[in-house]
Amino acid sequence: MSDPAHCLDFVADCHVRTAAELLAHRWDPVVIAALRTGPRRRLDLQRSIGGISDKSLTDALNRLVDRRLVGREAIAAAPPEVRYRLTDLGSSFAEGPLRVLGEWAQEHGEQLLPDLDDEEAPPSPRSGTG
């Protein structure tokens, strides 16, 4: 889609949707952020990312390798070793939109949390009831 106006008319089929999907998976941005410091072994990644399961890390790494954001390098050693690193594309995402999102979250993150002091507030209305 080379015409930007056409892209806005069909956002569902646009590159914007593809880019937005990079944030749709809970752990993908976290894995990308963890790789910003340089190549890492899978076990080191899992230790540095609190709360990620083995399956979730495997799924995230596979998705990110398929999207060409992360490279996988097998190293001949005893025992064999695999390291993951950001590709140029992954680095541009980490240093561009992901960095800006992180800065925004630092500035506004408190506003996104539920207001725990307002326990007396009435429940929000649900659509389709009444």
Tens of each residue's pLDDT in the chain, 130 residues: 455 555 555 555 677 777 888 888 899 999 999 999 999 999 999 999 989 999 999 999 999 999 999 999 998 888 888 999 999 999 999 999 999 988 998 998 888 888 766 554 455 544 444 4
Contacts of 25 (CB under 8 A, 6+ apart): 59, 60, 63
Contacts 24+ apart (CB under 8 A), 81-87: 81/41, 82/41, 82/42, 83/39, 83/40, 83/41, 84/35, 84/39, 84/40, 84/41, 84/42, 84/45, 85/35, 85/38, 85/39, 85/40, 86/32, 86/35, 86/36
Domains in the chain (CATH in brackets) are: 25-101 (1.10.10.10)
pTM to 2 decimals? Answer: 0.73
